Structure 1
Amino acid sequence: MQTMENDRKQHIDALISDMAGSGTKASHKEQDPRKLVMLRNHEVGRKPRIDALILKVMKSNGIMDCNDL
């Protein structure tokens, strides 16, 4: 579970660096902290939904039983 969380953080960091590469440098300096905070807040807000979907898939594939939660 910890590796999934690290993968998500790396994915978000990659998205942030991709966004940082686009646009002018002046607008990048002004918007980068706000975008970073926004993406982190979205990650925190979506985490319960993502975890629930992961559990749903694991249960449907027979990897995890309800009692193993």
Structure 2
Amino acid sequence: MFAEPVLKEIGARHGKTSGQIALRYLIQNGIAVIPKSVHRERMAENLAVLDFALTPSELSAISRLNGNSSLFGWY
């Protein structure tokens, strides 16, 4: 699986995976997420996104990944 370098770098700063950084980004932006997994390890990873916060500069760097556009019309 390809991981965006920005997500990998920010993840490394927090000791988290790229997926955890992406989930945390969505949560901090008020977007409800329902991660799905049948693997215990992945379930634990999904729950471990509530013990840190992304900085404003990290949030900004992630938002620029898609040209500051969103798939959500309201976001």
Q: Whose helix fraction is larger, Structure 1's or Structure 2's?
A: 1
TM-score with structure 2 length normalisation? 0.25
